[in-house]
Structure 1
Amino acid sequence: MSRRSSRSSTMDQGEFILECKAAYLSMFDSIKEKIESQDSLLEALQQTGRNPSVKVLKKYWTNDTDELSFDDFVDICRKEPVTTSDDLMKAFRKIDINGDGYISLEELHKILTSKGEKKSKSEVKTMIDEVDENRDGRLDYKEEPVLRYSEFCKMVMSTTEESKKMQRKMMERKEKKKKQEIERRGDVSGSQVSVRSTASSVKNDLPRPSPRVKKDKSRQSSVSRSHKLDEPKNLREWTHTKSKGSFFMEDGSLICHQYDFNLPDDSKIWITMQPQKASRGMDSNPVDTSVFILRDRPDEDGNLLVAFTEHRDGRGKYGVSCDLSAGKYYIMPYTTGCRFKSRKSESEKEAKLVSQDKGGKYVITKAFRKVLEDIFDYSDLDGNGFMSRKEFNLFNIRTSGEEVADEEWQVVEDRIDLEDGEITKAGFLQLNELEAEDSEGDTEDLWTTLVSMGYNKQLIMDQACPFQLDVYTEDCDDAELDVVRVDSYPTYPGDLSFDDIISKSFIKHGEISRVKGMKDLCMYTYKNDGWASLVLDNKSHTRVRVELDCSRSENVISNHDSLQRTLRVDPGSTLIAYHLMPEDEDRDWQVKCTETIR
C-alpha cells in the first residue's frame, strides 16, 4: 500500500463517514449546507487532516463549480489521502530556506502563514519551544535528523488527531443535547447542529491584540479577528421572511435593492445579511454587506435610525437583533466600498455571446447561457424558482431604465410559456435566445444587459455584489418585506442624506478624539467586527481643511485609493473620512491615523 494511501481505505466506512461529518460540522450548521468557495473546501479538507495542493483543489473546484454538497465532500475525502509523516518530512526540509540545516522562527513562520490557517509568531515560537531542546530557537535535523524531526512530526500529527477527537466529542455532545430538546418539545423531526473544532474556535472566537507602536502620537485603534454572531436560541420558532438583492456600481456611485418592512404587531426581530458569491465573480474576500433599519418618520428626538448590523460571523454574515413597535420601516443595505469599487479598466478582449448553428440560426453560447442562469437566480428575489412580473419589472428597470408596460408583458406571454403567470428559467433563456435571433446576431443589447448587471467583457461579475437578506420576527406572523426599488439612496425627512444618518450613528457609537489646534473639530473612530470608520465632525462656523494620514495602518484597505487625503469639512457638518477593513481577514489589523489642519 502506498504511503500516501487514503485513510478511508484503512478504516471502517461508518467511522470514515462520521469523521467527515464531524469535520464538516466544524464549519457548517448542517450537512445540508453547501461548500460555496474553494477556500471553504480547503478549510474543510484541512479539518480532516488533508492539506491539498492548489492543483488538487482545482481538480474538484473548477470554473464551472458553483457549490459542493456533503456527499461531494465525502467523495473527495475518499479520493484524497491524509497528510502523512513523510509529507511533513518533505515540507520540513523545504522550509530550510537558507540551507544552513536549521529551521528558524522566521522560516517556520513563513511556511505556516503561506497557506491554511495562519499563525502568529508567538504561536510558532511556542511550537518551536516544545521541540527545541537546547532553546536556541532553531530546529536541527543535520545532527539528529530522525530524532528531532520525529518529535516535531509527532507534535503536528498529534495536534491533528486531538482536533479530530474534539470535533467528534463536540458533535456527539451537541447532537445529544439537541435530541433532548426535541424530545422535550415532542418534536419528531431532527436537525443538524453547529459544531466548532478547537482549531476553529481559536481562529474565530478569541481576540488576538495587535502590537502597538510605543510613543506614537497618531490615533491608534487595534482590532481583533474575533467574529461571533449570537442568533436567538429559539430562532426556528420565529416567522422567517427573506429576499435576495444586489449592490451595483454605476458611474462611480452605489445603487442597490431597497426594502419596505411592514410590521403589524410589536415584535422582537433578528435580521441577517450576507454576500452571495457569483459563479463567475471575483476570487477575493467577501464584500461587507450590512443593514440599517430606519423609521418612516423621525421619533420625538428627531432620529430615523433604529439599529444596524455590527456583528458578523467568520463567513461574512452580519446580524442585528432589536425590539420594534408596530409600524412601517425601511431596510437599507449598505457596503463600505472597501472591497467593492469602480472598475479601473476594461479588458479589450470580448467574450462571445452568440454563435450560429449548422442551420444558420443564431444561438447563445454556453458561457453566456451560464451567466444568464445566474442573472435569473439573482433576479428571482423570493427564491421560488420563478421570475414574477414584479421581479421581471425590477430587472427591466435595472437593464433598460424602463418599467415593463402591459403590452410588453403581453409580448412575453405570447412568446414563451409561463408557469402560473411567472417566467421560468428556461423561459428567461428563451427570451434572450429570441433577442439574439431577432437582432440577427447583433449583441449590443445583450451587452447592455450584462453591463447593467455588473459583468465585464470577460463575463466576470466585478461591478455587482448579490446578497441574501433574512428577517425573523418572534411575535408577528404576518410581517411583510417588500422590494420597492433598485436605486441610489433617497433623501429622508429633514433633508437628511443616508450618509448623514450613517455619520450620526458612527458618532454615537464611536470613540471621540479632538483634532489638535481646533476646539470645535472632532474625529470619531467607530469599530465593529468587520470594519472601522473615521468621521469628522465640524461644530465650528468656518470651513476646515484637514489632512488625514492613515498610511501607517497595518493590514488595511480602504474605500479610497490612497490612505492619505485632504478633506474640506463645511461648518456644522459631519463627513465620513474613511472606511477601513483588513486586507487579509486571517491576520490582525490596526488603524493609525494622523490629522493635520491645513
Structure 2
Amino acid sequence: MSEVMSLEMAISPGSDATFSSQRSDISEGARTKKCLPTEEEIFYMNCRAAYLTVFKSSLENIISKDQLYLALQHAGRNPSRKTINKYWTPQTAKLNFDDFCIILKKEKPTSKAELLKSFKQLDVNDDGSILHSDLYKFLTKRGEKMTREEVNAMINLAGVNADGRFDYIKFCKLYMTTSEQCLKTTLEKLEVDGKLRRQQFGSHTRGSSEKDRSLPLPKPSPRIIRKTDQETFSDKGDTRNHSLGTTRKFKTSVSFTIIMGANSNRNSKLTEPNSIKDWQCAQSRGCFFLEEDGDIISHHYRMQIAQRSVVYLTIKPLKLSQVEGKPSPWLSVDTALYILKENESQADLQLICFTELRNREVFGWTGELGPGVYCLIPSTTGCWLRKEIKPTTEEAQLVCRDETGELCLTKEFRSTLSDIFDIIDLDGNGLLSLEEYNFFELRTSGEKCDEDAWAVCKENFDTKKNELTRQGFLDLNLMEANDREGDPRDLWVTLHSMGYSKALELTEACPFVIDVYADKCRPRIKAVHMEACSGQLEKIICKSVLNKGDTKVMDGYENIVIHTDKRDTWITSVIENKTDNKVIIHVNNELSRNCINNRGLNIFAVEVAPKSTMVSQHVMPLNERQEWIYYSVYSLIS
C-alpha cells in the first residue's frame, strides 16, 4: 500500500485539526471486572506484536525512517510522508518502543467510514466513482500533496479503475482489507513464536489483571532475577546500536515495597486557619495542558508578599459547568504547587515549601513567609492527565443555521466556549484583558494579539472597562465561523488545543484555581508565562525527593541510587546517576496492586544521563477506597 501512503493526509477534511485520543475514565466497575482484556491491554499487545515483527527485541531501537514506516504498517497504519517526518526530524537519531507506543496512540488507523466520507466530497455524480482528472487535481493540490508517481500508482491499481474513473468504494475495501491483514499477520506471528510471547519487556498494561491481583505480595528480593527476565535479554548475535542497549541481562536489582492504606473519605490534615475570614486574599486561575508528546505545560506565577505574614495557600481543580451524564475527568486530576523564593544573589530559586496537605481535592500549605517575591510552579503527577485509548466518538456539531439561514453556534458549543472563557479569565473578574487573551492566543495559535489588533477587537465586540466580555468572546468565535463559511476546522483547532475531545469533553487539560490568604498584608499573584512541567520543575521534584525520600543503592554500583518519596496521595521515584556514563534502568511494576503511574506502562526502561537525576515515575492508587501496594523492581541493564 505504499502507493497511497499520503492518502489519509491528502483527503481528510479535518487532517490539520486531528489530535490524539480522549481520556479513558477508569470506573470502579472497570477495576473489578477484568475478565476480558481491556482496550489498553489490546492496544499494547498490538504495539508489541508489530514491533517484534520488525525487531528481535523490544529493547531494539528504530534507527531509520524506513524502519519506522515498516513498524507502523505492521501496526495497521498507513503513514504519510508528513506523518513520518513529524516523528523523525533531522535531529532524530533513534526511537524506542515507548516512543513507538506513543506514536500509535496519536496516529489512529483510518476507518472505512472516514475514507468514504472524504471521497464522497469529490463524487459529484454520487455514483461511487471519481474522474481520474478530478482525483489527480485534488490529491496533488490539497492537504499533503501527493506526487505524480503516487497518484499514478493509485490510478493504475487493478480492480478499482475503469473508463477513466476511480471506484473509491472498492478502493476503501481494498485499503481496509490490506491494513487488517497486515495486523492479523503480525499477531499470528507473535502467537506462534513462543520466545516472543515470553518476552516481558514491552508487555505493557495499565493496572493488573484479576489473576495478578490474586497473587500474594512477594517478599522483597532485590538480588533475584526471574528466569523469564533472563530470557528477555537472551538474544544473541544482534550487534545493532540501541539507546536502550543490546545487552541481555541485568547486572543488579533493587526493589521497593510500600503498602498504602485506603483513604475512603479523601481527607488529610489540611485545615483553614480559624481567623481566615479576616485575612486578605488573592486568586488566580490556570490550566495544565497535555501536549502531543505527552508532556504537560501550565501557567507559572509570581507572588508578592509586602510584609512578613502567615500565609494559607491552596490549589484545586476549577469547577466548570457540568452536563448531567457527561464525565468531568479533570476534577480527578491531582494538583500541587511548589513555592520558591526569588533571590538576586542566587542562580537557582530556593525551594521554600510544597502543598502536600490535603482536604479532598484541595491541596494546601500554611506557614510564615517573609517579604519578597516568590515563584509559584503548579505540578501534577500526570497519572490522571494522560492520552488514553478510547473509541472515536462522533464529532459534535459546532455551528448550524437558524430559521433565517444565518450561521449560529450550537448550544453545546456555546456552553463549551463559556467554560473556556472561565478557564482563560485568570483573575476571575468575568472579563478578558489583553494579557489574559494572549495566554489563550499563544496556546491556540502560537501568536500574540498586538495592541492594534486588540483595538480592532474592542471596536467590533462587546467590551467593558477595555476588556472583552463573555458575549464578546462568543461573538468573536462566531465571526471566525462566518469567515470560514461554517467550516469548523479552525474552531476544532482551538478546542483541541484547549484539551477538548470530539465530544466536547475536557479530557486533555485540567483547569485549576490558586487561592492565597495572608494575615498581615494583601498578597499579589500574577501569571507570568506558560512552561512545560519538566526542566526546572523536574529539578525541583528531584531535589525534594533526594532530601526526603527513602534511598537504596544498587548493589555493587554505589554511584547509582534509587530514591522513593512516599506522600499521602502518591509515590515518586527518582533515579540518581553519579557516574560519568549514561545508565539504563529497567523498571518493573507488574506486582504492584491497585496502582496507576504517569507512564501508563507496568514495564519500561529509562536512560539516565551521566551526573544527573531524573524522575522515574509517579504512582497513585487506582481506587482510593482500597488499599494499594507499590512493589517496584529497578534493575541495571548491562
1:481-535 Cα distance to aligned partner (Å, 9 max, x none): 01112332586xxxxx321121011111111122233222221111112210011
Query: d(CA) in 1 for partners of 2:494 and 2:289?
Result: 13
CA shift for structure 1 position 215: 3.3
Written as runs of structure 1 = structure 2, the 5 A alignment for 1:482-493 is 482-489=526-533
What SS is found at the alignment partner of 2:458? helix
Query: d(CA) in 2 for partners of 1:499 and 1:294?
Result: 14
Aligned to 1:545: 584
For 2:428, give the aligned amino acid: G
CA contact under 8 A between 1:311 and 1:528: conserved in structure 2? no
Aligned to 2:287: 246
User: 235, 253, 257: which one pairs with 2:299?
Assistant: 257
What SS is found at the alignment partner of 1:545? strand
What SS is found at the alignment partner of 1:437? helix
Q: Is 1:535 matched with 2:546?
A: no
Query: d(CA) in 1 for partners of 2:217 and 2:484?
Result: 64
CA contact under 8 A between 2:462 and 2:471: conserved in structure 1? no
Q: Is 1:339 matched with 2:339?
A: no
Structure 1: tracts of 5 or more residues without a match: 1-210, 492-496
Q: CA RMSD in A?
A: 2.4
Query: d(CA) in 2 for partners of 1:458 and 1:250?
Result: 19
CA shift for structure 1 position 232: 2.2
Q: Is 1:227 matched with 2:268?
A: yes
Q: Is 1:480 matched with 2:480?
A: no
What SS is found at the alignment partner of 1:519? strand
For 2:555, give the aligned amino acid: K
CA shift for structure 1 position 358: 2.1
Query: d(CA) in 2 for partners of 1:568 and 1:532?
Result: 20
- Count of residue pairs brought into register by the alignment: 382
Query: d(CA) in 1 for partners of 2:403 and 2:327?
Result: 35
What SS is found at the alignment partner of 1:466? strand
CA contact under 8 A between 1:517 and 1:597: conserved in structure 2? no
Check 1:362–1:303 CA distance in 2 against 1; reply closer, same or farther (3 A cut): closer
CA shift for structure 1 position 303: 5.9
Aligned to 2:199: none
1:167-219 Cα distance to aligned partner (Å, 9 max, x none): xxxxxxxxxxxxxxxxxxxxxxxxxxxxxxxxxxxxxxxxxxxx994633341
Query: d(CA) in 2 for partners of 1:350 and 1:485?
Result: 32
CA contact under 8 A between 1:229 and 1:311: conserved in structure 2? yes
Query: d(CA) in 1 for partners of 2:576 and 2:469?
Result: 51
User: 602, 621, 626: which one pairs with 1:563?
Assistant: 602
Check 1:439–1:293 CA distance in 2 against 1; reply closer, same or farther (3 A cut): same
Aligned to 1:411: 456
Q: TM-score, normalised by structure 1?
A: 0.60
Query: d(CA) in 2 for partners of 1:439 and 1:302?
Result: 48
Query: d(CA) in 1 for partners of 2:345 and 2:451?
Result: 41
Check 1:451–1:300 CA distance in 2 against 1; reply closer, same or farther (3 A cut): closer
Moved more, 529-538 or 566-575: 566-575
Query: d(CA) in 2 for partners of 1:490 and 1:560?
Result: 14
Aligned to 2:30: none
For 2:580, give the aligned amino acid: H
Query: d(CA) in 1 for partners of 2:604 and 2:580?
Result: 23
Aligned to 2:219: 215
CA contact under 8 A between 1:282 and 1:462: conserved in structure 2? no
What SS is found at the alignment partner of 2:419? helix
CA shift for structure 1 position 268: 2.3
Aligned to 1:381: 426
Query: d(CA) in 1 for partners of 2:392 and 2:450?
Result: 36
| Superposed structure 1 runs of 4+ greater than 3 Å apart | 211-216, 280-285, 297-303, 343-346
Check 1:296–1:302 CA distance in 2 against 1; reply closer, same or farther (3 A cut): closer
CA contact under 8 A between 2:559 and 2:577: conserved in structure 1? yes
Q: Is 1:307 matched with 2:353?
A: yes
Query: d(CA) in 2 for partners of 1:299 and 1:509?
Result: 26
Query: d(CA) in 1 for partners of 2:573 and 2:482?
Result: 53
Q: Is 1:574 matched with 2:613?
A: yes
Query: d(CA) in 2 for partners of 1:273 and 1:365?
Result: 33
Q: Is 1:291 matched with 2:337?
A: yes
CA shift for structure 1 position 276: 2.4
Query: d(CA) in 2 for partners of 1:301 and 1:413?
Result: 42
CA shift for structure 1 position 343: 4.6
For 1:580, give the aligned amino acid: V
User: 436, 447, 459: which one pairs with 1:391?
Assistant: 436
Check 1:573–1:361 CA distance in 2 against 1; reply closer, same or farther (3 A cut): same
Query: d(CA) in 2 for partners of 1:517 and 1:277?
Result: 51
Aligned to 1:104: none
1:95-147 Cα distance to aligned partner (Å, 9 max, x none): xxxxxxxxxxxxxxxxxxxxxxxxxxxxxxxxxxxxxxxxxxxxxxxxxxxxx
What SS is found at the alignment partner of 2:332? coil
CA shift for structure 1 position 428: 1.6
Query: d(CA) in 1 for partners of 2:389 and 2:450?
Result: 36
Query: d(CA) in 2 for partners of 1:433 and 1:568?
Result: 48
User: 501, 504, 526: which one pairs with 2:565?
Assistant: 526
CA contact under 8 A between 1:553 and 1:593: conserved in structure 2? yes
Aligned to 2:311: 269
Sequence identity (%): 35
What SS is found at the alignment partner of 1:501? helix
Query: d(CA) in 2 for partners of 1:447 and 1:538?
Result: 44
For 1:499, give the aligned amino acid: E
Query: d(CA) in 2 for partners of 1:228 and 1:328?
Result: 27
Check 1:259–1:540 CA distance in 2 against 1; reply closer, same or farther (3 A cut): same
CA shift for structure 1 position 597: 1.9
Query: d(CA) in 2 for partners of 1:384 and 1:319?
Result: 23
What SS is found at the alignment partner of 1:384? coil
Aligned to 1:511: 550
Query: d(CA) in 2 for partners of 1:335 and 1:550?
Result: 21
What SS is found at the alignment partner of 1:358? coil
What SS is found at the alignment partner of 2:282? strand
CA contact under 8 A between 2:315 and 2:514: conserved in structure 1? yes
Query: d(CA) in 2 for partners of 1:570 and 1:448?
Result: 36
For 1:505, give the aligned amino acid: S
Query: d(CA) in 1 for partners of 2:593 and 2:393?
Result: 35
CA contact under 8 A between 2:342 and 2:349: conserved in structure 1? no
Query: d(CA) in 1 for partners of 2:354 and 2:345?
Result: 17
Written as runs of structure 1 = structure 2, the 5 A alignment for 1:460-475 is 460-475=505-520
CA contact under 8 A between 1:343 and 1:463: conserved in structure 2? no
CA shift for structure 1 position 253: 1.8
What SS is found at the alignment partner of 1:520? strand
Structure 2: tracts of 5 or more residues without a match: 1-214, 222-254
Query: d(CA) in 2 for partners of 1:258 and 1:302?
Result: 16
For 1:268, give the aligned amino acid: V
Written as runs of structure 1 = structure 2, the 5 A alignment for 1:55-134 is none
Query: d(CA) in 1 for partners of 2:533 and 2:287?
Result: 14
What SS is found at the alignment partner of 2:353? strand
For 1:444, give the aligned amino acid: R
CA contact under 8 A between 1:531 and 1:580: conserved in structure 2? yes
